[in-house]
Structure 1
Amino acid sequence: MNSLKLRLFRVLLLCAGTGLLVAGCSNDDDSPRELSSKTTLTLSKYYNDKGATTLPTWGRNDKAGLFAADQSVPEAVYAAPIQPGSQKSLFLFTLSAPQHAASTVVAFWPSDADLRCENGTLKTVVPTAQTGSVAPILAGKATARLNTYEGCSMELTNLFCTMYVSVKKGNYSVSKAVVKANGGEGIAGELTIGIDDWSASASAQTITVTLPAPLDCSKETQLIPVMIAPVALSQGYTVTLTDTDGNSFSVGKTEPVTLEAGGKHDTDDARSSFVTELVFCGDNMVYMIDAGLANETTYKDAVTWSWDATEAAAVLGLDKSRCNHLDDCKPVDNGKKLLCTSSYNWCVLLDIATKEVLFHTTATPNAHSAELLPGNRIVVACSGGESSGNNSIQLYDISQPNRILYQSALGSAHGVVWNETTQRLYAIGGQSLQIYKLKDWETAAPSLELEKTVQTPQGGLHDMSYVNSNTLCIGGRRAYLYDIGANRFTEMMLFSASTAIKSINYNDETGELWYTDSTNPEGSQSWSTQTIRYSTDKNASTETRTIKVPDLDVYKVRVMNW
């Protein structure tokens, strides 16, 4: 009997050992099974449709989605936040995953987002047709053993980039914007994101934003938000905008641009080419205005851009009181920059978009105008005075502030204009128009060779502007159009009684003129005016309209866009 009991006990021990062995060996079978996973999810900020950021929090009725990304085509599982009301919350997901091995999971919000997981990628859609609103999809990934006490954590960031198309203040309303990659890259449509490296590609090259209501730009600069794929654009992009009159204008970049997931990209200001934009200066201020928004009594509501010259005091090394007496603000480089001069002996090249001073000199006594020349060089007209630099035109290189490369005498120098077609520099002063050609331009010691001096019909010259490749507009005591080829001056009878035209701009295609005239001075100076004048006929008896600038001693007005 005892022998039988002993044998039975041995069998039980053997069975127990076998069971333990089987249990131990079962760890090697780590096939997916249903398990619970503690997951901490943190929502990050995203760029909204107002040009600012939104930092979302988990709501009581929110849910987050989760993919087991190691599976070929996993179904999403969902869970509600355990700690609603904050940016960060713990979730308890139930999903199919290995019990012991690490798994890669992707979480996302909102839970109803059009997001799929397929063969190691995420797929969603960046709409090719948008309305100017932003609908983010926030997602993140983690690789961990999902059923451990620690669980896993993820920060969810926007899968898209937000582009803000800046539309400059002006007398127009925008109804549509079309974004296109110059290099042919996909920026919308089906967006595929590699889960391993978060790299992205898209299927469509164009996004069209049709606004629910026209965007009124008459009061301030406006932004059009665009959801766009986070890709690298090898040749930049172009945004074409259409106003409510059917006119189109564009803004963009031609250099490479990288659009970051969760980030933003700001375009330069898009400026309609179908509005008249002026730039004028006086005292320490430069203003740009949309002439269509200005009226006879004030320009204030029409200002689209401004610059206070005292901001350049540190760069110039001058007291702020000397950052005054601005007497020119000439647009150059296709309207991207301004050449500003002051009779307080300085000149700057200013980037309009950033207001950065790209070049400066304080060696230009009584500077009255400047011009951008080929090869990143600048010539400055220095008017009357007693120093060695007065009554001359001075040559500079943008990379060498305050270093005069060359100087040529010109009494009472007031204006300089470069003509790309004739490859000549034209300069005025007193009663002379001097014509120069570039000499030794590719060397370190360039100069200006005086080729010809032309006597003008009147003295007291104050301004000269480019009209076309064969015509210059000259003003001071009266005003004339100079025919370069025929060497002939034609008087504009509108100015037959003028003795102090400070600036004059003429459009030969439309017959329009914008000018300043201090024949009857206004303001605190004998040479200043407080009226910007406009005419549609160079031979009329009076101007067509005026814009008052009652708080500034104005010297010159220039035309950014006719």
Structure 2
Amino acid sequence: MNLFNLRIMNTVQNQIIRNLLVGIGALLLAIGCSNDSTDSVRPFASKVSLTLSRYYNAQGTTTLPVWESSSQAGVYVPGSSVASYASPILPGSQTSLFLFSFEGPRQEVSTIVGFWPADAPVFCENGRLQTTIPTLQDGTVSPCLIGKSTGRLDSYEGCEMTLSQIFCVMYISVKKGDYAVREVTVKANGGEAIAGELSVGIDDWAASASEQTITVTLPELLDCSQEAQIIPVMIAPVTLNKGYTATLTDTDGNSFAVSTNDPVELTAGGKYDTDEAASSYATELIFCGDNMIYMINADLADATGYKDAVTWSWDATTAATTLGLAASRCNHLDDCKPVNNGKQILATSSYHWCVLLDVETQQILFHTTSSSNAHSAEILPDDRIVVACSEGTGSTNNVLQLYNIASPNVIVDQVPLTSAHGVVWNEANQRLYAIGEQSLQVYSLKNWDTATPSLELEKTIQTPQNGLHDMTLVNSNTLCIAGKRAYLYDIGADRFTEMTLFSSSTSIKSLNYNDETGELWYTDATHPEGSQSWSTQTIRYATDMNASSETRTIKVPDLDMYKVRVLNW
């Protein structure tokens, strides 16, 4: 087709549209003038311009629909419980003009409600809009776009409105792991209704629902072994004053949950992302070395490597600007302790720094570069942190340092501890325990509700061996202490019990013990691996603290590793 013919066709097409609009205007004027009575029922037509909005889809992204020639939209006018339907005059775009036909009295200024798609279960009566959010869902997201506009329906100018999604989409995040999910149930902790019959006030657009539970049964099992997944849930746009609980069920019938007790506002057309849910039947580990921290699902790792099991990682060189250090000094990580229910990590480095890291955002919430040869840290009550600073010749070596999280780099208090290597807070007896060289020291918190808090030494206990490297809290009455050999310390009885599995170990860098199951995860540099005399490249697992050898290993061949921690047994 040549350019001349194309121009003729465009001109003709535009003329047809203009003639159609003029015809619509004439029709409106003719109908509007045919009867001046405001009470008599008569047919009339209305021009309405409708714009479709983006809505969140099942993939966690957005979909922008356009008007198709085969599609229709619906409109409710005041006083009518029956919708009128029309097809787009200008299909193929996000916005189109529609011509709706009605029967009723002459229209004054009023509010009308439009919706798409035309087969959506939308009803309008007595000033309220009614639709349905299924209580039984399958993980798909169906659009239900609704809008309103106020004006004279029978005027030549007509009216226009934007149609937006009426409900919210909750995306339940499921962490990578050796499991598959088949079902999830969502409830509001405060008992609010979140699905069923959704009623929306046309004047204030306030919404209320009728049912308290949504169950999503997936048509295909959600395999989480290769990557993290999301499960979309269509949910009412209401406020959950006490948060929610989403309970997931895997293919073995095991249940695990993600929840919050904080208020959650679910907005119409918006989305809400949950924290990551992880099966409590999967073991999650955190380990560190060089400039890296990794989280892995231990069930997905094996003796040959860990890469396929990684669920999260952090590169310390990304903190160089915050710390004010060269990237080469954002290295030598020696601890990566999960705190605050695993939502944060206290990371320390032998290159004299410590950070409190938010897992989800990877934002640094606290930092200090004044902690010489930092080897471990701990969260204390009232948003304070204590850092164990090990050997060296400076004034900030061989000490425990106290900080306020809100004041980076400001040392609030400092107490001596030779070769400080580990710190643990015991909430049950409100005491801080710290190890260094061949001593276990017990501290109380002094003047804690003032601007000058301090650590007060109450007791020093000699340990069976020197060269201590690590200490963890087993339960409220038991500490696990390791370095040269390993011991359980009974706080009440003031007694050490040797763990004979480690009777030949001289350099245990980390040891985590579960007294309920007998499991142990640890790193042992008695026979160093990697480029350092203190490093290892093997994470070890055992099921008996008095066994003769470990049960399994996970190789980390690309890292001079120091410590491993258990996020979830």
Under TM normalisation by the shorter chain, which class is it? over 0.9
Residues 371/39 of structure 1: CA separation in 2 closer, same or farther (3 Å cut):
same
The question of whether the paired residues in 1 share the 8 Å contact of 2:60 and 2:171 is answered with: yes
- Comparing 258-267 with 350-359, which one deviates more in the overlay? 350-359
AA aligned opposite 1:56: P
RMSD, matched Cα: 1.5
Which residue pairs with 2:244 in the alignment?
A: 237
Q: Give 1:378-527 correspondences, 5 Å limit.
A: 378-527=385-534
Confirm or deny that 1:78 pairs with 2:85. yes
Q: Which residue of 1 aligns with 2:44?
A: 35
- Partners of 2:185 and 2:34 in 1: how far apart? 62
Q: 1:133 aligns with which of 140, 164, 171?
A: 140
Q: What's the CA shift for 1:28?
A: 5.0
CA-CA distance at 1:532 after TM superposition: 0.5
- Structure 1's unaligned 5+ residue stretches are 1-22
TM normalised by structure 2 equals: 0.92
Match for residue 280 of structure 2 among 273, 280, 284: 273
1:14 corresponds in structure 2 to: none
Report deviation, 1:325: 0.7
Partner of 2:233: 226
Letter matched to residue 384 of structure 2: R
Alignment pair present for 1:543 and 2:550: yes
Separation (CA, whole Å) in 1 of partners of 2:151 and 2:448 = 66
Query: Who is 1:289 aligned against?
Result: 296
| From 319, 328, 334, the counterpart of 2:326 | 319
Asked if the contact 2:297–2:311 (Cα under 8 Å) also holds between the matched residues in 1, the reply is yes
Superimposed CA distance per residue, residues 392-411 of structure 1 (whole angstroms, 9 cap, x where no aligned partner): 11111111111111111111
Moved more, 359-368 or 491-500: 491-500
Name the residue aligned to 2:356.
349
TM-fit CA distance, 1:423: 1.4
CA distance in 2, matches of 1:98, 1:144: 15
Amino acid at match of 2:312: W
Q: Distance between the aligned counterparts of 1:29 and 1:477, measured in 2?
A: 96
76, 100, 104: which one aligns with 1:93:
100
Answering whether residue 161 of structure 2 is matched by residue 161 of structure 1, we say: no
CA–CA distance in structure 2, aligned partners of residues 198 and 381 of structure 1: 56
Counterpart code for 1:221: A
Offset at 1:25?
12
Aligned to 1:64: 73
- Structure 2 partner of 1:45: 54
Partner of 2:198: 191
Task: Give 5+ residue unaligned stretches, structure 2.
Answer: 1-31
Q: Tell me how far apart the structure 1 counterparts of residues 232 and 478 of structure 2 sit (CA, whole Å).
A: 44
Q: Aligned partners of 2:355 and 2:215: how far apart in 1? A: 40
Report the counterpart of residue 311 of structure 2 in structure 1.
Answer: 304
From 544, 550, 558, the counterpart of 2:565: 558
- Residue 368 of structure 1 deviates from its aligned partner by 0.2
Residue 196 (structure 1) shift: 1.1
Distance 2:53 2:457 in 1: 65
C-alpha separation in 1, matches of 2:191 and 2:487: 49
2: distance between equivalents of 1:327 and 1:370? 11
Number of the residue aligned with 1:254: 261
Moved more, 317-326 or 386-395: 317-326
Q: Distance in 1 between matches of 2:229 and 2:364?
A: 26
| Corresponding residue SS for 1:204 | coil
Distance in structure 2 (CA, Å) of the matches to 1:545 and 1:179: 38
Q: CA deviation at 1:97?
A: 4.4
Q: Secondary structure at the match of 2:467?
A: coil
AA at the equivalent of 2:93: S
Residue pair 2:283, 2:299 contacting (<8 A) in 1 also: yes
Contact 2:38-2:107 within 8 A present in 1 as well: no
**8 A contact 2:73–2:116 mirrored in 1:** yes
Work out the number of aligned pairs and report it: 538
C-alpha deviation, 1:26, in angstroms: 5.8
Return the offset for 1:178: 0.9
Distance in 2 (CA, whole Å) between partners of 1:29 and 1:163 is 47
The CA distance in 2 between the partners of 1:250 and 1:522, in whole Å, is 39
Q: Does 1:211 align with 2:218?
A: yes
1:361 aligns with 2:335: no
Distance in 1 of aligned mates of 2:155 and 2:423: 77
Task: Determine if contact 1:182/1:233 at 8 Å carries over to the other structure.
Answer: yes
